């Protein structure tokens, strides 16, 4: 499921219907299974965005604008806000710390 979400991210926030179709389930079935596992769809998308964002930021050749686009954010500012929420630091600061 994480791979499907990751593949759909570049088109924007992947709605649950598209993700469910990609893995061969109905949206309601996917919601039930996530609930049984104590997970929410929003939290799962957030986790995939975080993991992918970290990986892309470690590659110093990928611009922040491009990282934001790959993660489905409308602009770099939205990505920066989310990254600060996840890590407590700006993406540029994280990138410098990794160098």
Query: Was domain 2-98 assigned CATH 1.20.1250.20?
Result: no
Asked whether the predicted pLDDT for residue 99 surpasses 80, the reply is: no
Write the pLDDT tens digit of every residue in 62-74: 999 999 999 999 8
pLDDT at 37: 95
Residue 28, token pair as written in the block = 């309601």
**pTM confidence score:** 0.89
The domain spans of the chain are 2-98
> Would you give the distance in Å from CA 94 to the centre of its chain?
17
Nearest to 86 by CA among 59, 36, 47: 47
Q: What is the CA radius of gyration of the chain?
A: 14
């Amino acid at each position: 499921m994480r791979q499907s979400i990751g593949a759909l991210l570049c088109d924007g926030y992947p709605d649950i219907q598209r993700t469910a179709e990609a893995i061969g389930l109905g949206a309601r079935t996917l919601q039930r299974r996530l609930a049984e596992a104590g997970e929410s769809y929003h939290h799962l998308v957030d986790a995939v965005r975080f993991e992918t964002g970290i990986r892309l930021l470690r590659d110093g050749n990928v611009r922040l604008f491009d990282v934001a686009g790959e993660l489905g954010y409308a602009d770099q500012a939205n990505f920066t806000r989310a990254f600060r929420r996840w890590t407590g630091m700006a993406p540029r600061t994280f990138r410098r710390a990794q160098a």
